[in-house]
Amino acid sequence: MKEIPIILDGDPGHDDAIAWVLANASPLLDIRACTSVCGNQTIEKTSYNAMRVMKLVNLTVPFAIGRRKPLLSDPIIAPNVHGESGLDGPALPEPAITPEPMDAVDLMAKILQESTDPITLVPTGPLTNIGALLLLYPELKPKIARISLMGGGINYGNWTPAAEFNILVDPEAADTVFRSGVPITMAGLDVTEKALIFPEDFERIRALNNPVATVVAEWLDFFYQFHRSKGYEGAPIHDAIAVTALIKPEILTMKDYYVLVETAGDYCRGMTIADRFGVLQQPANATVILGIDRQAFVDLVVEAVAYYGEGAR
Amino acid sequence: MSQIPLIFDCDTGVDDAIAIMLLNKLPQFKLLALTTVAGNVELEKTTNNTLRVLELIGADVPVYRGAAKPIFREHVSAVYVHGENGLGGIELPQSNQAIPGVNAWDYIFQEAVKWQGELEIIAVGPLTNLGLAFIKYKQLPDLIKRIVIMGGSASLGNITPAAEFNIYVDPEAADIVFCSGVPAYMCGLDMTMKAYLTAEEMAQVGALGSKPAKFFQDVVQGPLNFYHSLGLPGMSLHDPAAVLYANDPTNFETHPVGIRVETKGQHSLGRTVTDLYSDAQWEKNAYIITDIDRKKFFERVLDLMSQY
């Protein structure tokens, strides 16, 4: 039974795309809508990629496009990681859906309003849409069961020494999210840098030999090029952990912390700061994922990709 | 054996006091002087505590008074760890030692000139004295061989979630030091939180029986309670860990990194932002010490204290 209703919000992106492949294959998740956000690439490119990924996995739920830029900042994009298209590598099918004639935030609000059950939001890009949703529709907070996000890191950053990319791109949105009071699960660099798929695992996926498997293996080939050049043993599938937290939490280790987002500073803008020793005496606002059983994670991804060979959905 | 000329800059403080006792038994260093700064407690107390510890161990080392407040900010103390007097309420006998009329930052420069580039500094309090010295003497960076710092952290904070106490108290001074061009070795919380001694190990030191050893065990009791209240297994000997690192880096892990100090953030003021691997690829201006062999550290502390 699909017991967890979710909305996928991302900036695909190789690891977003794999996160969506994973979510769509899960018998636990009831995907109510997908939305795009600017991040890894411009909003035009991430939206186009999102719709292509939806076609690839035959996901036909409502889709809406997010705004052109973060709440306050100018966009930052990551072509060095994801390529000029934002999802370089294998050829993908053209989109088969038309975006809803409304902003991503309004689609999220509509889905939440119409749902009888609270819905979990799964943002895997900058938190622009989620921040805007909380600012524009504060009355819908009780309809949000949880925000399971990929972003931040309580030990270090990646785009800058202090900040992880998704939070750095829109720190004000992230600050809004972390101060919202909505339960948060944070898949940050602390865990996602350990969520490595090794080159030998790529071959397990490729050998599944279904249309999705071939594409996922080639995404991994592309995504790993950048990371290999930086000395990684495999490709870190950051965004997939925000989904894993919902469908297989038992392979993760987590700890509750009060987490702050820095929006100012010369060097620390976009940093997520955890109050490890409780010096601020605030109740925890986030469940921070710190560790992962890597092999179990790889098996989960392989199983998800195998699902597409059975012609389901 | 040629000794390394050394100035120890401190804000004594419980763990500073222990660091001084260890330093006094390290013949590799020629300890020129101790310089004091406002930090754990106010300057008059840190200076007085420094003199009293020297008196306790019978060390004949000059003490120079340094800055009474951070360069741009008001002073913040850490009485919640070190107690009102800075030594956990332990009253050591007064010292009659006179304090020269030269400021710490001027004294540091004089010695740097005299030792022609061989001078090393271990700084275990806020970095105000060194910051002022670099502001005043533009040629100073070429005259100091290295600075070993207890302060900061790549990953943790203690006075705030993001910042370590010494750097938080005077972040501008710290940034001046890290950007000075002098090789800076950051013994931050990443390593020093692992350099703890348990109550049992503290008792083993006390059981050595000398006056300094008994003082060691007595003075740590307040902070030990504080660390236990955080759920930690023992009291971190931050400053002693920096001293023993400066003496011999063998049982530690060191990496070259880029470090800058945040002086403006809302939540991150005083963060030593450390580029271990980011895409930004900062210039490597410092070394971070990330790990320590705790067992060997304790053995070394015990060995040095047994020499009293």
Q: What is the pLDDT of residues B140-192, one digit of tens each?
A: 999 999 999 999 999 999 999 999 999 999 999 999 999 999 999 999 999 99
d(CA B99, CA B97): 7
Report residue A45 as tokens.
């490119």
Residue of chain B whose alpha carbon sits nearest to that of A276: B161
Catalytic residue among B75, B228, B238, B255: B238
**What are φ and ψ of residue B183, in 5° steps?**
-55, 120
d(CA A19, CA A247): 12
Task: Give the residue from B135, B142, B147, B133 showing the smallest Cα distance to B115.
Answer: B142
User: With bands split at pLDDT 50, 70 and 90, how would you rate the model's confidence at A311?
Assistant: low
Q: What is the mean pLDDT of residues B288-303?
A: 98
What DSSP letter does each residue of B266-293 carry, written as one string? Answer: SS-TT-EEEESS-TT-----EEEEEEE-
Cβ-count burial B269-291 (b if 16+ within 10 Å, e if not): bbbbbbbbbbbbebeebbbbbbe
CB contact under 8 A, A265 and B265: yes
Mean residue pLDDT of chain A comes to 96
CB contact under 8 A, A268 and B230: no
Report residue A149 as tokens.
């996000």
A chain contacts of residue B279, beta-carbon cutoff 8 Å = 80, 158-160
Q: What is the mean pLDDT of residues B91-111?
A: 97
Identify the pLDDT of residue A200.
97
Residue of chain A whose alpha carbon sits nearest to that of B274: A161
In this predicted model, what pLDDT tens digit does every residue of A149-187 receive, in sequence order? 999 999 999 999 999 999 999 999 999 999 999 999 999
User: With bands split at pLDDT 50, 70 and 90, how would you rate the model's confidence at B215?
Assistant: very high
Is the pLDDT at A312 greater than 90, yes or no?
A: no
d(CA A282, CA A257): 9
Task: Give the residue from A197, A184, A208 showing the smallest Cα distance to A236.
Answer: A197
Q: How many CB pairs under 8 A join A and B?
A: 99
A chain contacts of residue B265, beta-carbon cutoff 8 Å = 262, 264-269, 271
The pairing of beta strand A286-292 with beta strand A252-257: antiparallel
Closest Cα in chain A, distance from residue B233 (Å): 14
**CB neighbourhood size of B119 (10 A):** 23
CB contact under 8 A, B265 and A268: yes
Identify the pLDDT of residue A2.
76
Residue of chain A whose alpha carbon sits nearest to that of B264: A265
Residue of chain A whose alpha carbon sits nearest to that of B153: A155
A chain contacts of residue B282, beta-carbon cutoff 8 Å = 161
**Ranges of each domain in chain B:** 4-305
Is the pLDDT at A1 greater than 90, yes or no?
A: no
CATH label, A4-310, candidates 3.40.710.10, 1.10.10.60, 1.10.10.10, 3.90.245.10: 3.90.245.10
Topology (CATH) of B4-305: Inosine-uridine Nucleoside N-ribohydrolase; Chain A (3.90.245)
Q: What is the mean pLDDT of residues A49-67?
A: 98
Distances, alpha carbon A202 to alpha carbons A224, A230, A271, A301, B302, in Å? 10, 19, 32, 10, 53
Identify the pLDDT of residue B277.
87
Q: What's the complex ipTM?
A: 0.90
Taken in order A140, A144, A149, A155, the sign of the CA dihedral is positive
Residue A260 has its nearest CB partner, among B156, B264, B267, at B267
Q: What is the mean pLDDT of residues A231-257?
A: 98
Q: To the nearest 10°, the Cα dihedral for A275, A276, A278, A282? A: 40
Whether B176 and B105 have beta carbons less than 8 Å apart is answered as: no
Whether A219 and A18 have beta carbons less than 8 Å apart is answered as: yes
**Ranges of each domain in chain A:** 4-310
d(CA A179, CA A285): 8
A chain contacts of residue B236, beta-carbon cutoff 8 Å = none
Residue B279 has its nearest CB partner, among A159, A276, A280, at A159
User: With bands split at pLDDT 50, 70 and 90, how would you rate the model's confidence at A313?
Assistant: very low
What type of residue sits at position A292?
A: I
Closest Cα in chain B, distance from residue A88 (Å): 20
Q: What is the mean pLDDT of residues B266-277?
A: 96
d(CA A63, CA A101): 9
B residues 267-306 closer than 8 Å to A (CB) = 267-269, 271, 273-280, 282
Residue of chain B whose alpha carbon sits nearest to that of A164: B278
Q: What is the mean pLDDT of residues A266-277?
A: 97
B residues 153-192 closer than 8 Å to A (CB) = 154-162
A chain contacts of residue B268, beta-carbon cutoff 8 Å = 162, 262, 265, 267-268, 271, 273
Q: Specify whether B228 is catalytic.
A: no
**CB neighbourhood size of B166 (10 A):** 32
* Mutate: best of A81, A232, A262, A263, partner B, most B CBs <10 A: A262
